[in-house]
Amino acid sequence: MTKTGARPQRSRKKIALWTVLGLIALFVVIQFVPYGRDHSNAPATNPFQWSSPTAEAIAKASCYDCHSNETKWWWAVKIAPFSWLAQHDITRAQARLNFSAWTGALTSPGLQHAINSNMPPLKFTLIHTGTKLNDAEKQTLLRGFQASLVDNNGGGTPAPAPSAASSGSDATAIINARCGSCHSADAVLQFHASSAAQARAVIDQMVQQGATVSAAEEQTLIDYYTR
């Protein structure tokens, strides 16, 4: 009985050993997968110009690792599968907003919405200590960004107000371009806001879901929704 009982025990040990060896071999093999191994940062093509050095410092500490070409690749994200997760998140973040390739897509309401939606995310702040924004830093970042937008737009001189006809046609073009790929643009076109704040909230949701809306386009949509 003793010998018979020892055999299953030895068998389980062999299975456990081969399982461990298999996992080690798999870990070694995945290190050769090309995805996530290129940690070179592309040069900035059109960097956002900050007017506030304090706001810029906050943004670089809490936002630029994902939303710019100034990513700091620490040692853990150079190891698969963590490198895959990091590459996926950074590529997605840069597609939505890249301070090194500024397009004017982010508006003050958009930044406010991102801050209120717990950006930077918890998985980032847990690893990068000191990057979680407190209330004072959030306000400093938002005010500095707003001031920088004014300076980047040539002192904040407002563009001529479009006519009702052109505003409607422009809004239709924007909605068809930005919304049609995710859901029916008809429902978005038929929406009517009771106030500019309600219209801006809808636009913030579009931006949060990945839409790219410039400051001028945002105002066109607000005018359209509150017509």
For the segment 108-121, what is each residue's pLDDT rounded down to a tens digit?
888 888 888 888 98
Segment 181-184 long-range contacts (CB within 8 Å, at least 24 positions apart): 182/209, 182/210
At residue 141, the pLDDT reads 93
Lowest mean pLDDT among 119-123, 133-137, 173-177, 183-187: 183-187
User: What pLDDT, on the 0 to 100 scale, is given for residue 172?
Assistant: 78
Q: Residue 185 gets which letter from DSSP?
A: H
Dihedral sign, CA of 107, 44, 55, 209? positive
CA–CA distances in Å: residue 63 to residues 31, 98, 138, 146: 28, 10, 12, 16
Q: Which of 38-42, 45-49, 207-211 is predicted most confidently?
A: 45-49
What pLDDT, on a 0 to 100 scale, did the predictor assign at position 178? 64
- Mean pLDDT over residues 179-206, rounded? 72
Q: Would you put residue 210 in left (φ > 0), alpha (ψ -120 to 50) or beta?
A: left
Instruction: Give alpha helix (H) positions in the chain.
Output: 2-30, 53-62, 82-96, 108-116, 122-127, 135-152, 164-179, 185-190, 196-208, 215-225
Q: What pTM was computed for the model? A: 0.56
Please give the DSSP secondary-structure letter assigned to residue 181. Answer: T
Taking only the tens place, the pLDDT of each residue in 51-63 is 999 999 999 999 9
DSSP 80: T
Tens digits of per-residue pLDDT, 54-105? Answer: 999 999 999 999 999 999 887 777 777 887 888 888 888 888 899 999 988 7
